[in-house]
A and B are shown apart, each in its own frame.
Chain A
Amino acid sequence: MPDPLPPVEKPAPVAAGFSLLTGAKRWLVVGIALALLASYFSGTFNRYYLGIGIDVGIAIILAVSLNLINGHTGQFSLGHAGFMAVGGYFAAWLSLQMGVNAKVMFPLSLLAGGLFAAVVGLVVGVPSLRLRGDYLAIVTLGFGEIIRVIAQNTEAVGAASGLKGIPKFTNLGWTFGLAAVTIYAITALVNSTYGRGFLAVHDDEIAAESSGIGTTRYKVTAFVTGAFFAGIAGGLYAHHKQFLAPTGFDWLKSVEIVVMVILGGMGRTVGVIAAAILLTVMPELLRDFAEYRMIVYALLIIFLMLVRPGGLFSINFKRRSAA
């Protein structure tokens, strides 16, 4: 019986030893090298630009990971900021508990934050992903709300006044290194034989189900993976801003990430990265118009959905018929 999911066509590796340098992996290496270089010289940068640079890196991680859920798999999560909060609070709390060793353990704190967010993602995802589309939007929206309520009532993480005094460990190297890892991991996952399943779920759930793809399983996998990277981004964010407030992760933060994915074109990684950079840098340039920012975002969403559902950067405009 033929394999229902033909593997992606990709150039055969030249030799096993050089496989590190083929395809997406090359970009991973280049990205990490650049990140190391940037972090080495970052002492000479202007602090303001440095801060924006780190913001951009965190936004890329968030947008690319949400793209796996909202873009490639075609689900609609509105709770990405919630997972960011889970990872951020957990990593920051770990750092504060460890005291002196915290700097050495920073990568582990980030990882723990990501894993914790992934576990929470599993708990939220399993009930809501058994159902179709729009339930997920509401459940994830509500989940963000629950996270905020919990953070506001937990004394260990500062309750309503927020978590203060988080050590500043995030630098350009960590941020862009992890952004490169995120981009690579998610691209590789989607392009793998297994990853075809995400696209199948996106294209037609009923057809995918009848070809023997466990759609719920795929949706949950996408959701948990996305949550994991959002948690890592949260950890970076916590050790960058050095302060976490429960209100900082409300659903507008999630909407901001969603706008990045929609603007970049759902499922188009390069577009999403470009949109993440654009939407992080633009508000800094347009500080005088800050009060109109969300109005512009809202109009952008409506306009893009009406005219260019494939994203701002899409070249050919394909009209999809109703499922």
Chain B
Amino acid sequence: MDFQQTIQQLINGLGLGSIYALIALGYTMVYGVLRFINFAHSDVLMLGAFSALYIAPKVEKVLGPQSVTGAILVIVFSAAVCACLGMLIEFLAYRPLRNRPKLTVLITAIGVSLFIEFTCQNDAIFGSATRAFPKLLPEQQFHLGKIVLGSNDIIVPVVTALLLVGMWFIVQKTRIGTAMRAVSFNQQAASLMGVPVNRIISFTFGLGSALAAVAGILYSMKAPGIEPLMGVQPGLRAFIAAVVGGIGNLPGAVLGGLLIGVLETFAGGIPGLSNYRDAIAFGILILILLFKPAGLLGRATIEKV
């Protein structure tokens, strides 16, 4: 592999990794406030892609094809739809279980995930066939020597960076972000201090689901098509990214996402390893769990009785 190929793979890897990072942000935020893996997160991503599929033609009618404003509108609408869905899922399935063992909530989350996947696979909803995703933006390719840089390769990392800054601002600088951190730190104490815990958790789910929708659309822009199980693979890798970076830690999620995206892309370019590409993320996960269970940027927690 020469230098230019390496750069090319690095660009592709960062594009993929940014998407993983966006999904991982949602996992990590929900984990931060509720301490459980929201298995349905990857299905919210799928629902985001599908809502874009349905919204895009309507926006196109008004604004003409492939306009930047149109693309932003589609993303904002889909994010709003998914934010509502995320809050609805939390309200119906997770809120009644607020004081139950974590395992119960985890199993429910798996149930919710399966329910969304299989309901959407039914012919009456989306059907299980792969569908073409509309082109939201005109695609351009820039050639720098042998390196090919697609417009998507630039858009995806930029959007991720902007959203990460936005998340950091919300969590660190706003009133509701302070409340989120309080709930994450100690739910009971936060509630005693007058933090409306349920509303904060609801908001966190909405925020995470909106991120998942954006990630779903960005993912679909490069994927050959979309189908109801499309979220499972990127969802798993993003969860691993969140764990690798230290779950509950926002910069950690991004770092983990980029790391896994890049490593996976490089492995895909090596002939002997390319068949095992799907297994790489899990290999990394097991290594991290063995040597640094709190994740790269996470702090080890002390169990108090």
Contact = CB atoms under 8 A, between A and B. Distances in A.
Contact of A139 (B97, B107, B114, B282): B282
A149 B279 contact: yes
A243 interface: no
A202 to B, nearest CB: 10
B276 interface: yes
Contacts of B103: 74, 76, 133
A298 B107 contact: no
Contacts of A128: 286, 289
A134 B36 CA distance: 7
Query: Which 6 A-B residue pairings sit nearest by Cβ, starting from the closest?
Result: A301-B111, A142-B282, A298-B115, A298-B114, A302-B111, A294-B118
Interface stretch (B17-25, B215-223, B235-243, B250-258): B235-243
Contact of B278 (A133, A145, A255, A258): A145
B279 A321 contact: no
A291 interface: yes
Given A153-B276, A301-B111, A76 B286 contact: no
Interface of A: 74, 76, 78, 124, 127-128, 130-131, 133-135, 137-139, 141-143, 145-146, 149-150, 152-153, 206, 210, 255, 258, 262, 291-292, 294-295, 297-302, 305-306, 309, 320-323
Contact of A322 (B100, B283, B285): B100
Given A76-B103, A299-B111, A131 B96 contact: no
B294 to A, nearest CB: 9
B286 to A, nearest CB: 5
B114 A150 contact: no
B37 interface: yes
Given A76-B103, A298-B114, A321-B99, A150 B37 contact: no
Nearest to B281: A142
A136 B197 CA distance: 28
Given A133-B103, A145-B279, A298-B113, 16 more contacts: A124-B286, A127-B286, A135-B289, A139-B285, A145-B236, A145-B282, A146-B283, A152-B275, A206-B305, A258-B107, A262-B107, A292-B122, A295-B122, A298-B111, A306-B108, A322-B101
Nearest to A300: B111
B239 A255 contact: no
Nearest to A207: B305
A69 to B, nearest CB: 12
Nearest to B110: A301
Contacts of B117: 294
Contacts of A130: 289, 293
Interface in B252-292: 275-276, 278-279, 281-283, 285-286, 289-290
Nearest to B39: A137
Given A255-B114, A295-B115, A302-B112, A76 B106 contact: yes
- The SS class assigned to the B binding surface is helix
Contacts of A300: 111
Contacts of B303: 206
A167 B285 CA distance: 38
Nearest to A303: B111
B240 A149 contact: no
Given A142-B281, A146-B279, A306-B108, A323 B118 contact: no
Contact of A134 (B102, B108, B118): B102
B115 A305 contact: no
B93 interface: yes
Contacts of B93: 302, 306
Nearest to B122: A291
A299 B111 CA distance: 7
